[in-house]
Amino acid sequence: MHKITFFGLGNMGLGMASNLVSAGNQVTVYDLLEAPLELMVNKGALAASDSISAIKDAQVVISMLPAGKHVKALYEKLLAHAPTNTLFIDCSTIDALDAKALHKLVRSNGHRFVDAPVSGGVAGASAGTLTFIMGGSKEEVEQAMPILQQMGKHCFHAGGEGAGQIAKICNNMLLAVLMAGTSEALKLAIDNGLDPKVMSEIMKQSSGNNWALQHYNPVPNVMEGVPSSNEYSGGFLVDLMNKDLSLAMSAATANQSVVPMGALARSLYQMHGLRGNGKKDFSSIYEAYLKE
């Protein structure tokens, strides 16, 4: 049992905080909106009247916010008021440079920090089957691990400060490449008269095999129970993929890394988003290859 304060009760955060309550922790929440606060109180959380009082007894502070600037603003308000040696875990997906700056900032205030971005979506947050990718020292990560395991299934230690963010965006950049590449390989096969089911089976057992073919085929009705067979609703939104690809491009620019395939996947997803597909699942990139 830990005393945990949770900030960021969006769709993801609600599921995550609920699982922390279910696991028997004393969870304190604060949010500007009434609705999610009430919802959490009904589940057994404590509601604080402001962010600073929310953390006065905290052992662990978890944040799940839209971008680095939000996390930074929150932390700048909290750090001086947190009990010494509080463990801050940021589960937001933010710029790796921002995450590194947060490590420095939190430590200079006498606390500990782990960047721990998440994958698995709203469904995974609710079911407690998320994947967390952590950046921080061995000690910090070992402390964060049992708490994150209450919200997720897989927890990886990617490396030092900011490594969680880097690992997540590298994975998601590769995912964008896989999904676009798989889409166009399947469309090329279809254009030449092949059945996408047959082609998918062959590639799954060959060197083209990848996560998209195995779990998330982008062509409608090749696979059951995936977004492509449900009008690309639900799943991992194009808008979110675009956010991650933007972070990947930013990381690539920072270090002069060469990312031709990632940059092209980025442009394809951007153009797909511009066409009004931002709220569709990201496997809908397949539609970019079709005649309207």
How many Cα neighbours within 13 Å face the side chain of 22?
12
Cα gap 69→152, rounded to integer Å: 25
| 151 belongs to the binding site for a copy of itself (CB under 8 A) | no
Q: Residue 168 catalytic?
A: yes
Q: How far is the CB of 272 from a copy of itself (least distance, A)?
A: 9
| Closest CA relative to residue 261, chosen from 161, 142, 138, 178 | 178
| 256 belongs to the binding site for a copy of itself (CB under 8 A) | yes
Name the DSSP class of 276.
I
Catalytic-role residue among 69, 100, 153, 168? 168
| Closest CA relative to residue 244, chosen from 185, 177, 151 | 177
Characterise 161 by phi-psi region: left (phi > 0), alpha (psi -120 to 50), beta (else).
beta
DSSP-assigned beta bridge partners for residue 87: 60, 112
Q: Binding pattern to a copy of itself, positions 213-252, x when CB under 8 A?
A: -xxx-------------------------x---x-xxxxx
Which one of residues 208, 229, 234, 240 is an interface residue with a copy of itself (CB under 8 A)?
208
Cα gap 96→103, rounded to integer Å: 11
| 160 belongs to the binding site for a copy of itself (CB under 8 A) | yes
| 118 belongs to the binding site for a copy of itself (CB under 8 A) | no
Which one of residues 11, 53, 221, 257 is an interface residue with a copy of itself (CB under 8 A)?
257
> What part of residues 2-31 is at the interface with a copy of itself (CB under 8 A)?
none
Q: Can you say whether the dihedral through the CA atoms of 48, 51, 56, 58 is positive or negative?
A: positive
Which one of residues 45, 151, 262, 281 is an interface residue with a copy of itself (CB under 8 A)?
262
Of 68-76, 122-130, 143-151, 162-170, the window that binds a copy of itself (rule: CB under 8 A) is 162-170
| 159 belongs to the binding site for a copy of itself (CB under 8 A) | yes
Which one of residues 209, 229, 234, 240 is an interface residue with a copy of itself (CB under 8 A)?
209
Cα gap 219→19, rounded to integer Å: 34
Q: Are 200 and 283 in contact (CB under 8 A)?
A: no
> What part of residues 177-196 is at the interface with a copy of itself (CB under 8 A)?
177-178, 180-182, 184-189, 191-195
| 138 belongs to the binding site for a copy of itself (CB under 8 A) | no
Cα gap 121→152, rounded to integer Å: 11
Q: In the complex with a copy of itself, which residue's Cβ is closer, 40 or 125? A: 125
**What are the tokens at 113?**
């920090």
Which are the catalytic amino acids?
A: 168
